Amino acid sequence: MPVKEVPDKGKLVVCTVVKAKGFGAFVRLEEYPGTEGFIHIKEVASGWVKNIRNHVKEGQKIVCKVMEVDTAKGYIDVSLKRVNEHQRREKTQQWKNEHKAEKLFHMVADRIGKSTDECWQEFGNDIIKKYGSLYETFEEVAYDNEILEKDDFSGDWISAFREVAVENVIIPFVNITGYMEMSFPDRNGVEHIRNALKEIEIEEEQDEVSVKVKYVSAPVYRIDVTAPDYKMAEKELKECAEKGVEYIKKHGGTGTFKRKIK
């Protein structure tokens, strides 16, 4: 795998506590081989820390934020208290994903009869430049089996990479919700609302996206969107809601879209 030298200031890093004693703790930065960090006792937790071992212990994996990078000192200053719970969970999951991706990459190398070093030189570094990370590449290929060819990659490794991705990576899906309020002044309103809902709802999945509309209570209807990621889900929700509002207004009614209702 490409060697990462040192992290940038402000970056979140996964660390293993090597020694915790007195005025701070020394940690090993897992994503940067041979690099150590130091957490001053003031950066361990908010408030006064009487005993650092009540907060970190040798061998414990933690997520820290890089505060200062000064390689002349032989270590990097990092902070534990400046990482919130959401950041910790997200970074930990990202690190686990990359560990999994490295194992999958070994599987690809085995299937094509080459060493992992050869694979990194042949295509590994290039796909990371294109897709951001090794795990994201496996996710992209599992989602779209032809994406490597679409992005002008070629070679006997592609079929093996595709097989490993499809066999081992589960595409994540997200669910988001929005609300439509629709009303008409005349008796034809029921029929118009029914037609507006047809404009919004996608009965069959298109590009892994599903949109369903459910009645809440007059005049409110709930729109549920399922998609591979939040960006796609938000886009689909907005477009479907706009179609519904446009139809309602075109036929003399009133319609509004809200992400949340009280």
Q: Considering only CA atoms, which of 245, 204, 251 is closest in space to residue 221?
A: 245
Q: What does the pLDDT read at residue 4?
A: 63
- CATH topology identical between 13-82 and 174-258: no
CATH code reported for the domain at 86-168: 1.10.150.190
- The whole-model pTM stands at 0.62
DSSP letter at 72 equals: G
Q: What does the pLDDT read at residue 170?
A: 82
Per-residue pLDDT of the chain (262 residues; tens, 9 = 90+): 555 678 899 999 999 999 998 899 999 999 998 899 999 999 999 888 888 988 999 999 999 999 999 877 778 999 999 999 989 999 999 999 999 999 999 999 999 999 999 999 999 999 999 998 999 999 889 988 899 999 999 999 999 999 999 999 987 777 888 998 888 887 767 888 888 888 787 644 455 788 888 888 878 888 998 887 778 888 888 888 888 888 888 888 888 888 877 6
12 in Cβ contact with 67 (< 8 Å): no
Report in angstroms the alpha-carbon separations of 168 from 83, 90, 226.
31, 21, 22
Q: What does the pLDDT read at residue 204?
A: 45
Q: Considering only CA atoms, which of 37, 14, 34 is closest in space to residue 25?
A: 37
> What ranges in 145-229 are assigned the alpha helix state H?
147-150, 157-168, 189-200
In words, the CATH class of domain 13-82 is: mainly beta
Amino acid letter, residue 133: S
CA 198 from centroid of its chain's CA atoms? 32
The H or E element containing residue 24 is strand 24-29
Q: Write down the domain spans for the chain.
A: 13-82, 86-168, 174-258
In words, the CATH class of domain 174-258 is: alpha beta
